[in-house]
Structure formats: C-alpha cells, structure tokens
Structure 1
Amino acid sequence: MSGKPKKNIFADAYEERLAWNKESDEFVKYARYAIQRALDETEGFAEFNELVDYRIDTDPKLPGWLQVQFGRRLLGRPDTDGRHASERGPSLVYSRGPSGEMTVMMFPIKSEVASALEDSLSLRIGYYDYWDLYLGVRQDMRDLIAYAYVTSLDLKPSFGQRMRIRWLRFASHQHVDGKHQFSPLRSGVWNLIKLAFSGTFSGIFRFATPLAIGWFIGRYGTDWLTSWFR
C-alpha cells in the first residue's frame, strides 16, 4: 500500500466555491454605490423616484444576496373590494446559489387590480466575478426602470423601454404562476437544431440554420455561454 495521503475528492469544488463566494461577497459589499450612481444616470428614474422611494437591502443571514426594492404607491382608484388600490414597486435581486453561481432576477410591479403575466424574469445565471457583476449594474438598473414603466398601470414607457422588455421576455427564463419556464428564445433555438438535424430542412437551409444559430449565440448568448467555462 502506498503511504501517500489521498487527495480529498471534494477539495477542488470546495475551493472553487469559496473563490466564487468571495467575488460575490465583494460585490454585495460595494454594490450600493454603483447601483445608486447607475440609477441616477438611468432615463426615467428621477421622475419615478419623485413618487416612489427605493431601498437597497442586504441580509447577513443571506450571504451573496442583495435587493433593490421600490416601495408602494396609491393608484387613486378602488380595488375589487372598494378599498384604495395600490401597487408595489418593482425589484431586482442578486442571489448566490449553493455552488457559487449568481442569479439576477427582476420582479414586476404588482397591484390589487392588475399584474404582469410573469412572476419574474431571470436576467442571467452563471459564475461571475466581482468585475463582471459590477459592469452589469448599469444595464440591470436600466432594465429595472424599463420594467417599472412597462408593468405600471399609470406610466407610459418609451419605445426603447417597451422593446427592451419585449426582448427580455423573449430571451429570459421566467417564473409564471410559481413554475419555471424556459425562454421562448431557448425553445426556438432547440426546435431549429432539431429541424436542422432531422432532415426536414434541405439544400441551403441545412447549412444556413447552424450558421444562424451560431450567430444568435454569439450575439445574444455570450455571457450565458462563457459562464459555463469559468
């Protein structure tokens, strides 16, 4: 028998998880300032914030977790029970998973008289270091304010805001009625792959389809794809 000590087979994954946890801990620690600055630079935020306050929350019991939450606003109309209706503002959550992966989720405005079709949108899921998360804050806040304008009963979104949320609803995984749903984009790509290799397409389409899929992943799925190989 060899006298060499055996390597713990769980050690590599454990050390990798600690490294990812450190990155997200740093982000949560310093993200408040980046978020505040990004919101101030976001179109529509100042006008929305005049009527709806927001807060940035962390929780020592939930390491790697941070939430940007907007408060409630009275709608000036009764609900179905005749009481004053209100809507709860949108929120965006950074949440760390058990293996060190980070999920960025966005929740719509909700009220007693109306709500969005989806419970939430997953903006991205993967292994991100501090710098990746930091660089994503500006777009995250743009998405959040656009979501506020699109899902509120009383706001008029700009064309760009409407198009942004339409794209996110198409490209993002969602929770609907408490159940996870894959994005229509992912489902469509898989259907194209099946068609491409099933012989349904012929001639130039059999060559064009893989190229189109590759372009789609390169154009819109870079962060999602590269996060697998970190």
Structure 2
Amino acid sequence: MARTRQDRRNDFDEFFRTAVATFTEFRDNDPKAEKFQNIYMLNICPGSRAGGTNNRVVEVFWDRRPFETITQGRNWTALTEYGATLLYERDDSGFVIVSIYPANTDNRKPIESSITLDIWLDPIKLKDKSFLKKHWNDLMAYMESTSLDGNPTFLQRQRVSYLRTFKNLVVDNKWTPTKSSVFIREVFKWALTVGLSGIIIYALTQLTQPKTTETEIQLKEVNRNLDTVSKHLDKKSEGNSDLKTISITTDSIAVKTKEILKTIEKQKTK
C-alpha cells in the first residue's frame, strides 16, 4: 500500500520526539565530540533554535563561542565562531530535506553556505539509527574540517571531499548541481563531439575513397611482373639481338600497362 502524506508526517513527528535522545547518544559515544562539547556545546532543538515552535524543523548544531578579542582605543570586540549545523526540514508533502552548514566566522567561510545531504527523503528512514548515525558522522567531519580548531582525520577529509563532489552545494544562495554530474556531463559532451567527428570523418573517407576494381588489381600485378622480367632480360640480352628484341617488347608492354593504370586513376577522380 502506498504511503500517504499523513504517514510521512507521522514518521517525522516520531523523529521530532526522539531526536534529543538519539543525538545525545551519538555525542556521548563519540570520543571526538568531547573537545567540541567543552568548547561549543551541542544543541539539539526540535522545533528550531528560534523558540522551538516549528514542528517541521529539527536542528542539531554546535553553538557559538568567542575565540579572540580585539581592541580599538577604549573599545573592544569579541570575535565569534559559529559551529556547524545539521538541519532537518519537512516540506508540505511530508518529505524531508537534510542539510549541513559549516562552522564559520565573519571573516572565514568556505565557498559553500551549505551541503544538501538528502532531498525528498521519506522520513521513515529517520527511524533507522544507523542512517541517522551517517548524518552525525557527516556533521562531525564537517565541523572538524571547517572550524578554527578542527583537526580532521584522513577519513573525515575524504568524507567532506566526497560530500562536496557528489552532493548539491548552495553557493551564493543558489542551489548548484553536483560537481560529479557536471564532470560527467562535460565528459559525455566531449566524447559525443569527438566520437561524432570521428564517425563523420571515417564515413566521408569511406565514401570518397576510390574503389579498387579487380581489373586494376590484375593490371598492377602484371605490371610488377613485367618490370621484373624486363630487368632480367636486360641483363641477359647483352650481345643477343633476339633477347634484346624481347626485352624491348616487354618494356613496351610494361609502359602500356602503366598508361592504362593512369587512365583508370583519372577516371576515378572525375
């Protein structure tokens, strides 16, 4: 039986109710989360960070923290870093969009403002803890890679590189196609262009290439044989008038054969 919009909404509501317990468990069981917990503190906000009243949103994010102060005369300003965010948003049809946002400061931001992890996600998948754990690992890798004091492992760097290549980025408030799809499209375009050009060139070559007739092949073979015989006769005919006559006749036939071949070539070029 096909799932309805209400089915999807019910599943998201269940995720909404259990999100705090689920992501708290992920944090407590992840040794790498401890340093961020001490500096930023993890916030799990069903209903969004803006009051918690939006039943379509669940936010999981590392909070802000001051990292430096600057003074100008008698005034001073605290520079602030904002931690990475994992955002779940339910749309009108009950499907879910999952995005992650990088850690950033006012002066230091990656080129993308967010990465879309999943689009049109059926919220029934949000019941699967192993599926949610992947999102948690994406958040942690992104936090390590974009925060000022992050220290991503090799696998975390590869994970973020994968996300930036195979997932949709939002750049300058515009949703962009994946880098992998752009690359594949360009390769396909190149292959199609070069391949088509090659096929056309091959076809034109075959169509315009003169066809060698059986007669022409035989004449060429005769001409080669006559040349060979003529050379032998020239050597033997010294002092022998009969052989010399035969040699001259053979040369004459060879010349005539060459003329016939030239005539055939001219006919083919017309």
TM-score of the two chains, using structure 2 as the length reference: 0.62
- Contact 1:42–1:145 (CA under 8 A) maintained in structure 2: no
Cα distance change on mapping 1:86 and 1:187 into 2, 3 Å = same
For 1:95, give the aligned amino acid: E
Aligned residue in 1 for 2:67: 75
**How far has the Cα of 1:123 moved from its partner?**
0.7
SS at match of 2:4: helix
Length, aligned pairs only: 189
Mark the CA change 1:28 to 1:189 in structure 2 (over 3 Å): closer, same or farther.
farther
- 1:79–1:85 Cα contact (<8 Å) kept: no
Q: Distance in 1 between matches of 2:185 and 2:108?
A: 33
Cα 1:191/1:98, change in 2 over 3 Å: farther
Separation in 1 of the partners of 2:166 and 2:115? Answer: 9
- Give 3-state SS (helix, strand or coil) of 2:157's partner: helix
Shift of 1:165: 0.6
**Contact 1:79–1:112 (8 Å) recurs in 2:** no
AA paired with 1:181? Answer: T
Runs of 4+ residues over 6 Å off in structure 1: 79-82
More helix by share: 2
Tell me how far 1:133 sits from its aligned partner: 4.9
When structure 1 is superposed on structure 2, of 136-145 and 180-189 the one drifting more is: 180-189
- 8 Å CA contact 1:26–1:130 kept in 2: the answer is no
Query: Closer, same or farther in 2 for the Cα pair 1:69/1:129, shift >3 Å?
Result: closer
User: Conserved in 1, the CA contact under 8 Å of 2:145 and 2:151?
Assistant: yes
Instruction: Give the one of 93, 99, 106 matched to 2:93.
Output: 99
Distance across 2 between alignment mates of 1:129 and 1:70: 24
Q: 1:153 to 1:199 in 2, by over 3 A?
A: same
Distance in 2 of aligned mates of 1:37 and 1:139: 14
* 2:160 aligned residue: 165
Aligned to 2:46: 58
Partner of 1:119: 113
Other-structure match for 1:48: 36
Note the 1:205-216 alignment, pairs <5 A: none
Give the alignment of 1:136-215 within 5 angstroms: 136-194=131-189, 198=192, 200-201=194-195
Q: What residue identity is the alignment partner of 1:169?
A: R
Q: Which runs of 5+ in 2 are unaligned?
A: 197-270
Deviation at 1:41, TM superposition (A): 2.6
Q: Contact 1:42 / 1:142 at 8 angstroms: preserved in 2?
A: no
Structure 1 equivalent of residue 265 of structure 2 = none
Residue pair 1:105, 1:121 contacting (<8 A) in 2 also: yes
SS at match of 1:50: helix
Identity %: 24
Distance 1:72 1:100, change over 3 A: same
The alpha-carbon deviation at position 62 of structure 1 amounts to: 2.7
Q: CA RMSD in A?
A: 2.7
